[in-house]
Chain A
Amino acid sequence: MRKHLIFSLIGAAGILSAQDMPLAQVLIEGEQWQLLAEGYGFTDACAADTEGNFYFTDVKNGNGIFKLTPEGQVSVWRDGLPGISGLQFGPDRKLYACQGKRERLIRIVPGTGDVEELVTGVRPNDLVVTALGAVYFTETKTQQVHYVSASGEHRVVHQGDIVRPNGISLSPDQGTLIVSDHGGKHVWTFRVESDGSLAFAQPYMTVVTPYGTDESKGDGSTTDAYGRYYVTSEMGLQMFDPTGRLCGVISTPAPKAVSVEFAGPGLAWIYLAADGKIFRRKSASAGVLFQNPPVPALMFGANPR
């Protein structure tokens, strides 16, 4: 009770006193990474649905999108779409996809499998779809972040600063957008403006890099319900609190971890694509689905929704 009073008071005073968020709040003692799927060339494009299923692709050798049930059953969800490196369901329940190999951003209609082209002539790497149905995607080679409104208007909303923009995510309230830098040591933040543009770029988080280099290999990124950000990197899965402070590096079960997502029952499992395999690990936290309405980040101690 007292805790709640203090939190409300600090909120009222307008001073954001960030809580400390050690790994112990996320990792569960005794829980390890479980290998769920293997034998692929290059697993990527992690995504979750509301029923606890997980989706991924094999960018190198695969021809489509795979679905993994909470019980560990893998099936082909949609065939004939090679080279997808980013996936997320939209509020319209369609699956949005970065198909760099075909130089386009698409969405796939569940059931029929129909493909709708949103943007062509681009090489999207990773994406996030907002509750309003807008899409932000990174284009690594051109150092650009693109925006596509729900009505289909497409424009570049950021260019430069980030050496190799790669992973992309939002805060739970969807007011802040983050982009990882594969070729640098920061994760950048932006304020999401009402017209979709991005304002106030800042190198808000600093990623641990291997000795002697500033290349973090920062890649796939996601967010949990408490507003922590997770970024795959050369040094492991790095976790940041909502004020941008590094609060832990989670060891990955294989090298070349490139994509991460909370999925499974209660969105409580961290799924990881690494080295042609899919792993998962139960956490004490829970993810956020951006196709759902924005929510304030939870305070520590509150149960995941």
Chain B
Amino acid sequence: MKIPRMLIAWLLASGVVASASAQVQVQVQEEPYKKGPDSTRKADVPQGTVTKAKWTESKVFPGTVRDYWIYVPKQYDGSQPAALFVAQDGGGFVTEDGAFNAPAVFDNLIHEGAMPVTIGLFLNPGNIPPVEETSKPRSNRSFEYDSLGDLYAKFLIEEVLPEIGKSYKITSDPRQRVICGNSSGGICAFTVAWERPDSFGNVISHIGSFTNIRGGHVYPALIRKAEKKPIRVFLQDGSNDLDNLHGNWPLANQQMAAALKFAGYDYQFVYGEGKHSGRHGGAIFPDTMRWIFRDWKEAK
């Protein structure tokens, strides 16, 4: 079937494809958020490289395969350990005309000094390929992203990062390591830092699914009673986000923000009027990165 170009452009722009959202949205409706100059290529800014690869072995998630992309800034020369940024549903973050265009944002902010030289790891969720070519792969995304516990953290920290570390010098300082995602990828990012604050000290969650897909609605309660963990958290959601069988996204994110505030976390909550898309999170993404790395020079 032929797909109109306009529709593809809209899908990418709105982040429906990029974020592989919990619900396919069928209404074409404008959200009042647009990417700014920091999300666009500038002629005088050194451009990093983005390389696509396939991850095909996992003991934690046996049988899964997934695409991933590595972003390496022009300024990286291997002499110093680089900061680390990891995104779930990574494919949507590296797309040049997607909601985030993370490579361009990183190029601009690194050049400006607003963030350190950072290696980007953009991981897609796993699929179990079918035996019969005529069948579809089975998505492992919900199992990997929505489950609480340390499985995904194990996969990332014990399987993937050591391998990436063979090619790139990456800092072990959690304050210089960021984990990010949208929707289920957002709760996944939080879960990794919650389980392993010694590895990731920064979380960025857009339209995070802190709802009962697989029990993630309990986080606000856990945050309030657990001893504060050394995690900096950025949350974004919109008043028109999902309300479905798993929960109410705007309420869940407000609960998260209230719990982080109560427990004294270094957090920021941006609450707009967006829907379940990457539009708003993408539009403010450069400022989010500025906020996360606001003290990176002091921390060094």
Contacts and interface: CB of A to CB of B under 8 A. Distances in A.
B46 interface: no
Interface string A160-176: 00000000000101011
Nearest to B4: A5
A302 interface: no
Interface string B6-35: 011001000011001111101010000000
Interface stretch (B36-44, B132-140, B217-225): B132-140
A173 B128 contact: no
Contacts of B7: 2, 5-6, 9
B160 interface: no
A17 B127 CA distance: 12
Interface string A43-80: 00000000000000000000000000000000000000
Interface in B59-99: 61-64, 67, 89, 91
Q: Mostly helix, strand, loop or mixed at chain B's interface?
A: loop
Contacts of B136: 11, 16, 173, 296
Contact of B142 (A13, A200, A243): A243
A3 B27 CA distance: 9
B245 A200 contact: no
B143 A17 contact: no
Contact of B141 (A8, A16, A21, A189): A16
Contact of B143 (A9, A191, A202): A202
B161 interface: no
A245 interface: yes
A245 to B, nearest CB: 5
Interface in A1-44: 2-23
Contacts of B130: 173, 175, 191
A135 to B, nearest CB: 18
Nearest to A300: B24
A247 interface: yes
B26 A16 contact: no
Nearest to B139: A16
B124 interface: yes
Contacts of A7: 24
Contact of B138 (A13, A14, A189): A189
B3 interface: yes
B138 A175 contact: yes
Interface magnitude class on chain A: 35 or more
A193 B131 contact: yes
A191 B63 CA distance: 9
Contacts, number: 122
A161 to B, nearest CB: 12
Interface residues of B, number: 46
A21 B22 CA distance: 11
A128 to B, nearest CB: 17
A73 B128 CA distance: 44
A294 B214 contact: no
A1 to B, nearest CB: 10
A18 B3 contact: no
B63 A10 contact: no
B215 interface: yes
Contacts of A209: none
Contacts of A191: 63, 128, 130-131, 138
Interface string A173-212: 1011000000000000101111000011110101000000
A19 B62 contact: no
B1 A22 contact: no
Contact of B245 (A3, A8, A248): A248
Contacts of B8: 9
Contacts of B26: 2-3, 6
B245 A247 contact: yes
A244 interface: yes
Interface of A: 2-23, 171, 173, 175-176, 189, 191-194, 199-202, 204, 206, 242-248, 294, 296
12 contacts: A2-B7, A3-B24, A5-B3, A5-B7, A9-B11, A10-B20, A10-B24, A16-B136, A16-B141, A17-B21, A20-B246, A192-B131
Closest 9 CB pairs of A and B: A200-B63, A16-B139, A22-B245, A243-B142, A173-B135, A175-B135, A200-B62, A15-B20, A17-B20
Given A8-B1, A243-B138, 18 more contacts: A5-B1, A6-B7, A6-B26, A10-B20, A12-B3, A14-B67, A15-B17, A15-B89, A16-B127, A21-B245, A175-B130, A192-B131, A194-B132, A201-B62, A206-B147, A243-B141, A245-B146, A296-B136
